[in-house]
Structure 1
Amino acid sequence: MLVTLLQGDITAQQVDAVVNAANSSLLGGGGVDGAIHRKGGPEILAECRALRASHYGRGLGTGQAVATTAGRLPARWVVHTVGPVYSRTEDRSELLRDCYRNALRVAGGLGARTVAFPLISSGIYGWPVDDAVRQALSVLRTAETSVEEARLILYDAATYRIAEQVAAA
């Protein structure tokens, strides 16, 4: 699978699937989650509500992934995954890697060939950017999947520079 780093807006990516760094409620929030729900429109929220009513009454667990329509986004699907909150006292790296693994599994199961990922857990959940990039690349560079291209979308120039340095190391 081709893995590329790009600086930009994940909601503008023309891919088969966009990964949402969702909160466990699946009902929208801030950061990437809020942006995807705002730009994707009410169709995404409607499907998330249906998922909550049918299978995820208590919400989506950390590291799990589930797909909905992409609504008005230039993608076919949104794959929602819940990242772990960073902890200095507990190693939650495996949960973070599970987000990438399970999102790829769900996207591949849908037939997606191109997938755009945000840097999961690196915003409000406090994961240090350099380690978040390492965790993402450790999965994306080694995954056995039918997905042909994974894009890691970095929101700003500073994050992109850190990601480039980590990727080159």
Structure 2
Amino acid sequence: MEIALVTGDITRRNVQAVVNAANSSLLGGGGVDGAIHRAAGPELLEACRKLREETYPGGLPVGEAVATEGFGLPARWVIHTVGPNARAGQTDPELLRAAFANSLQTAVSLGASSVAFPAISAGVYGWDARDVAEIGLRTVREHPGNGIETVEFVLFSDPVAQVFRTVLADLDSRD
């Protein structure tokens, strides 16, 4: 599985699935979540409302993942996952690992060969970018792939991208 690090806008990536760092309501928000909802269009919000009504009336649990169509995005699917919120006391690294792992499993179940991840929980949820990079990159590298050929980490700023580059180089040097 090829891993690429990209600085830019995840909503413009030409991949089969983009991962949305969603909140548990699935109804949009700020950061990556808001950007994905705006770019995908109102159909995404409607699909998420339907998921809430039919499957997740209490909201999507932290670490879980669920997919919708991509609607107005170049990506065919949006995989919504809820990362842990360190500012709310959710500091267990296993919750963050689960968000990455369950997103990958959802991509496999969809048959996606390419996936773009944001830095889940590194923004407003207060996780340190290095911790997110280590957990995210390690989880992707340990995943068997099962049809996923490319995973992109689409990072919102140069400083966060540099952290991911450093962590990836450290992981490569250990192999």
TM-score bracket relative to the smaller structure: over 0.9
**What residue in structure 2 maps to residue 158 of structure 1?**
159
Matched residue type, 1:107: A
SS in 2 for 1:151: strand
Alignment of 1:4-153 (within 5 A): 4-86=4-86, 91-145=91-145, 146-153=147-154
Q: How many residues align?
A: 169
Moved more, 114-123 or 141-150: 141-150
1:36 positional shift = 0.1
Matched residue type, 1:149: T
* Alpha-carbon RMSD: 1.4
**What residue in structure 2 maps to residue 167 of structure 1?**
168
Q: 2:84, 2:91 within 8 Å by CA — same for their partners in 1?
A: no
1:87 positional shift = 6.0
SS in 2 for 1:61: coil
Partner Cα distance (1:51, 1:88) in 2: 25
1:90 positional shift = 6.5
TM-score w.r.t. the length of structure 1 is 0.96
Partner Cα distance (1:87, 1:95) in 2: 14
User: Quick one: structure 1 residues 57 and 88, their matched pair in 2 at CA, closer, same or farther if it must change by over 3 Å?
Assistant: closer
Q: Which runs of 5 or more residues in structure 1 are unaligned?
A: none
User: Quick one: structure 1 residues 50 and 134, their matched pair in 2 at CA, closer, same or farther if it must change by over 3 Å?
Assistant: same
1:91 positional shift = 4.3
| CA displacement, residues 134-159 of structure 1 (integer Å, 9 cap, x when unaligned) | 01011011101221111011111111
User: Quick one: structure 1 residues 147 and 59, their matched pair in 2 at CA, closer, same or farther if it must change by over 3 Å?
Assistant: same
1:71 positional shift = 1.0
1:89 positional shift = 7.1
Q: 2:11, 2:73 within 8 Å by CA — same for their partners in 1?
A: yes
1:14 positional shift = 0.5
Question: % of aligned pairs identical?
Answer: 49
Q: Which runs of 5 or more residues in structure 2 are unaligned?
A: 171-175
